[in-house]
Structure 1
Amino acid sequence: PDEERDFLVILEELKKEKMRQLIIGEEKRWDARGLDEIRPISCEVGILPRVHGSGLFTRGGTQSLVVATLGTSADEQRINGLQREEISKRFMFHYNFPPFSTGETRFLRGPGRREIGHGFLAERALLPILPPEEAFPYTIRLVSDILESNGSSSMASVCAGSLCLMDAGVPISEPIAGIGIGLIKEGDKTVILTDIQGLEDRLGDMDFKVAGTRTGITAVQLDIKISGVSLEILKEALQKAKRGRNFILEEMEKTIKSPRDQLSRHAPHIAILSIPQDKIGNIIGPGGKVIKGIIKETGAEVEIDDVESKVTISSLDRESTKKAVDMIKQIIQDPKVGEVYLGKVKKVTDFGAFVEILPGREGLVHVSELSDQFVKNVSDVIKVGDEISVRLIDIDELGRLNLSKKKA
């Protein structure tokens, strides 16, 4: 075992020496590429029909499949801060690096330090191009599964994430791409490599990950194995990264150039209403009666934020969302004297009938306002469940509604 281990160490050192000699002395790379040459790229979108969006990005021997899930504010990630404050995130990027991506077999455990770090890097890279919550009130979760890996899998995840967001119909400001830049330094001689593969990452001196759009950089991560790099090297590396990003973006745009016009039919439909603070109680109703009724009748989810005075309605069915929105608009609507309403009889008494003209708003039709003729028994003229047209003739000082059927 010790001899085998020593042999592998020596083999690795010989490989490192040979690779560095090729690059420094002959400007040749291990896979015969030019110093600034990017590996072959292929892109696909919409390959998983049931999810809300999907993107597959392949660069050489590295491949990332990213899947998008769109949800409501209830799906935001809740994080307890250091001072016990609650922080919520509406955008999450999770990165998975299964052992088969590098031809290995091991136990599938929870994410490690590397996976969490790569996920945060990709999340930070994509965050600046996302629309504000006011324009796109969805919680967004992206999951990258690395299907094969030979260097720069985190940057492949950024590229696949951009494709996936556009496939999901998320109105991003512009596409984004990422690339890894490497360095071989021997004495005073340095060579900067574009799009490093796994061997160049492992045996080289630098792994400089740069993600951004055509107009700017959104995230960087620099890993070096030497004491430091000069500003001149960094400037040249950033210039090469920009040229590489632009090339990758051109390849990506051959597959999809901009976000789709519509969300997936499997994604929830969300509507947000701003409501007066004093109307929140009307929407909830006594013991939650009104809001439960809306949810039961429409099948939509209704969330109330009494701090920001807004109501979020969501459903997988567009018509259900619209129906719930219409019901809530009726609830917060103020009844107007003189208006005619189509109401439903809720209760019949000896002196008249109570009619619901708006959700949660009932008024009294006095027996004298039921008909132009004399009415002896109210139940002879009207019954519970009847739909009748009534006119609002008065709102008394207590806010009670007085209705008339004969004047409607």
Structure 2
Amino acid sequence: MSSTSFRPRLPGAVLAALSVGLLAAACGGSGGGAAAPGGPNAGVQVALSDGGCRPTPETVAAGPVTFTVTNSGTAKVTEAELQSNGRILGEKENITEGLNGDFSLRLDAGSYTVYCPGAAQDTWTFTVTGAAAPPTAPADTSLTKATQQYHDYVVSEVAALVPATKEFDDAVRAGDIPKAKSLYAPARTHYESIEPVAESFGNLDPDIDARINDVADPTKWTGFHRIEKALWADNSLAGMTPIANKLDADVATLQKNVATATYQPAQLANGASDLLDEVSTSKVTGEEDRYSHTDLWDFAANIAGARKAFELLQPALTAKDPQLAQQLEARFTDVTSGLAKYQQGNGYVDYSTVPPDQRRQLADAVNALAEPLSQVAGKVV
């Protein structure tokens, strides 16, 4: 989940409204050589600092653009986004000191904003000029099928999320702590599997899933984790009815939004990479479900969502790079096998019982999967 719920975004920004075609996954690791503005793949450097994130260059020609985000020494600014009219077109999060990462887009002519929350100047203008040449490759029908099936998958997961959340919230409204505790993790799995989609809709994801340290004003904290604290830390559901009501309403809004959303193949790959980033940055550490210690439920849902996206893209990927497809299949198997030993009944063990060395093993397996997965979007555009 995003850690910047206070940032100004346009609510309900549907992926279908984006005027860009993603070319490559947002991925960790160092960026490649930067092409000159107007070249076949323009390169833009975004250096994070306390002062801001000025893009260099600030103007490129329409077409493929790769943004390389670096952090050479700021603890305040760890994220850069490219926005258009309040919509997030691409982003790189969790760029802490010494790290860097790339995301690539096909951009139409227009004025964009580079946004880096936490900086003294957090918005910078980025301009795209001219007209991009249309792709020359013929359409891949397997990719068209993949994007439609992913839409159906997202819709079905949210369709399951709505009643599961209501049942959980009904228990909260009734003051039934044991029942609410039992329903918390199962409901969230449907959300965690498609969280990158939810993050595209303005502040909807923070409203549903923000942690206490993710909100500027704790008195306005809402969503699953607010109720989680009430259940496990406070052992009281006093005052939680309005929070439960809002959670139901926000999940209903999510269902409405995903019904009309459409996707491009690279968005599936980007989303899969984002889900792995969720695992490696918050699930493995135990900070996501810090009160309930149900992190492994979320961990498994993130992996399942990433695997679904990969499986839908797999036919096209196999045709273009069979070795990469085989490598990813093997590494997904490694991760799911590693998770299996922590299963308990229909769920998972309390994450606080998993020792640090075993957490590191889980993280290593996820990182081994993340690197090749970050290559997929560039293969399926």
| TM-score interval (norm. to shorter) | under 0.3
TM-score norm. by structure 1 comes to: 0.22
TM-score norm. by structure 2 comes to: 0.23
Which structure has the highest strand share of the two? 1
Bigger RCO of structures 1 and 2 (CA < 8 A, at least 6 apart): 2
Q: Which has the larger radius of gyration?
A: 1
Which structure has the highest helix share of the two? 2
